[in-house]
Every structure is written in C-alpha cells, then in structure tokens.
Amino acid sequence: MPIRRFGSIIGIMVALFFGNQANAGTLEIVQERGLLRCGVVNSGIGLSEIDTQGHWRGFFPDFCRFIAAAILGNADAVEYVEVNYVTRFEALNTNAFDVLMANTTWTAGRDIELKLDFTHPLFYDGQGFLAHKSVGARSVRDLVGEKTYSVCVSDGTTTIDNLRDLVATHNLKFKIVAFQSVEGVYDAFFARVCDLMTQDRVALVSQRLNRAADPNSFILFPDIISKEPLGPAIRQDDQQWADIVQWCIFAAMMGEENRITSENIDTFMQSSEPEIQRLLGIIPDIGDALQLPRDWAYQGLKQVGSYSQIYDRTLGKDSSMELERGLNALWTDGGLLYVPPLR
C-alpha cells in the first residue's frame, strides 16, 4: 500500500498542475491509474493509523479499501496520501487525492464556501474534553470560576471554533493553546503542557488508549458541546464520483441491514429478495447506472465487510476501543444509520 504525505505549498502546486492535465472524470482517472488515492489523517488507534509494517489501518482506511474493491475489484489498490487538519481541504480541491476519508465534520461552510461535497456520515460524534485527573474536575461546569485552565486544540478546525463559542457563551477562563497539527495537540497534552485537550470524543478515547502511560490518569468529561457528523469529503465538480462514494457507503450499511458479511455473502447469491439481488449485482441495473462492475457491492462486502464488521474490528467490540454503537447503530436498533432504497 503506497503512502505519501502532503503538507507543503509546493506539493499543492504540483498536484494542481498534474491534477488538471486531463478533464476526465474521477472514476475514469481512478480506473486508468489502477489505484484509488485516499486522503487520510493520522488520528490514532482504531480511527486511522500506520501500523508497524507501514500499512494504514482503522475505521476510515477500511472504507478506502471498500471503495477500491468496488471500483477496481481489489481492496488493496489504494494509495494513501497523509494530510493534516490544515492542509486537507486545499489538498483535496487541488486533486492531491480522490476522496478525503477522515474524521472530517460536515458543516455548511465547508459544503458551500469550500465547494466540497459530503456523503452520508460514517460516524456520528460530538466534541468533548479529556483532562488530567490532577486538574480535579469531572465536567466543564467544574471549570467555571476565577482559575484559568489551558486547553490544547487544533487550529483551523471546527474544534477550535466550537471551543471559542463555548468560552464566549459561558465566560470560561480558558487559555487556548492552538497547534497546526493534531500530533502537536496530542504531544503537548500528554506532556502536560495543557490541562485539557478538546477533540471529537472518539479521537479522545483513541488517544487515551494509544498514548497514555496510564489511561486512568485522565478523565473523559461527559460534556458534548457540538454535533460532529464525520465522513468522506469529495470535490464538488464530479456528481458521478459523489454518487459512487455515497453508494459505496450505503452498500456497507445495507450489508449490515441484510445481515450479509464477508463470510456468508456467497450464500446470499441465491436470494429471491429483489433488494439483495440489486445489491449483489444479480439484477445489474445499479452497477450499470454507476458505471461500475456489476459486482461492485459484492466485492466491497466480500473483501472488506459490512459496516458492522468494519466498526466492530476497528472501534467496537472486537477492538481495544470497545465503543458501543450508540448513534452509529442502524435505525432499526435506535441509531441514525438509515439507507435509502436501492432501486
């Protein structure tokens, strides 16, 4: 799995030059290249990280693999391009990669002003706080008063904007310590530069497990100060590509809805249910409409798995994170994952 890093103005200019050398659609370019270029952020264990063999692992990289399997028939045909929270959108809009697959929040400003498209969220989260236990607080309300507390946060993100809104609304005495990279935030917090760190709650859980010598020395506040619908982002200039990324996400969720897994999928090839027949390409109209191989969803589910399989092995019950599904359960189980009809 090739890995590249993208973090300089020169890199952006080079990507712009080569990205504009042809007017072909993204699907055609990916097929000709034989690789899906996937922008990723090193967010930590369970979410997105490089393992000891140099391979990207986690919830978000697995969805890169799902899309590659659907388009190219090979889940390993992915080139990962590492970006950070500052460079990610400019890199995407200058064709450094085909899809940004990270814990990126869908907001009005990013959708409209940055000219990005967002698919159905992959993960519903909220912004929270991780604190050193020595601070002596268990929630944000315990921080109200005359004492000043330092908070590590990523610059150029919705996270810092939400923090500033919270400070202004509740007149909190916070010293905001901003960093250009999330790695800077994590390193500073665990080096005790700051009293607290704020980030998406799933990232806080990941970092407490990943970096803390003693996870019990930290406390995750129950406070949730924002809505964070996290998922893929693509450029706004290619509706066909937006549809493909969108329906790959839906296919993974639909696999779970129908209790299809990578292990049992072949037993469903004889199903008489029209929705399953359309999903697996037995009735081929959806794949044809997307200009994908007729077995596009089959390949994604067979090689990578359904949403529940991806979640369980990276974030859920079969992982070190052991996160409950919560809002990220199917609508039939009280969650927010709801897939339109495949017809």
Q: Measured between alpha carbons, how far is 117 from 100 in angstroms, rounded to an integer?
A: 10
- The verdict on 205 and 301 lying in the same domain is no
Global confidence as pTM: 0.88
Give the range of the structural domain holding residue 298, as residue numbers without chain letter.
3-123+230-333
Instruction: Provide the CATH number for the domain around residue 66.
Output: 3.40.190.10
Let me know if residue 338 belongs to a domain.
Answer: no
Same structural domain, 31 and 110: yes
Mean pLDDT score, 244-258: 98
Does residue 328 lie in a domain region?
A: yes
User: Is position 208 within any domain?
Assistant: yes
The tally of domains found in the chain comes to 2
The pLDDT of 39-51, averaged and rounded, is 92
Q: Is 340 exposed, middle or buried, given 0-12, 13-18 or 19+ CB atoms closer than 10 A?
A: exposed
Mean of the pLDDT values across residues 207-222? Answer: 92
Looking at residue 196, its pLDDT comes to 97
Q: What tens digit of pLDDT does each residue of 295-305 get? A: 999 999 999 99
At which of 191, 226, 261 does a domain end?
Answer: 226
Residue that is last in its domain, among 210, 226, 242: 226
What was the pLDDT predicted at 293? 96
Tokens coding 327:
């809002």
Average pLDDT over residues 305-327: 96
> Do residues 17 and 117 share a domain?
yes
- Mean of pLDDT values over 226-251: 96
Residue 44: the pLDDT is: 86
Q: pLDDT class for 182, splitting at 50, 70, 90?
A: confident
Can you give the pLDDT at residue 134?
Answer: 95
pLDDT for position 171: 86
* The last residue of a domain, from among 226, 257, 290: 226
* Residue 301 and residue 284 share a domain: yes
What does the pLDDT read at residue 341? 93
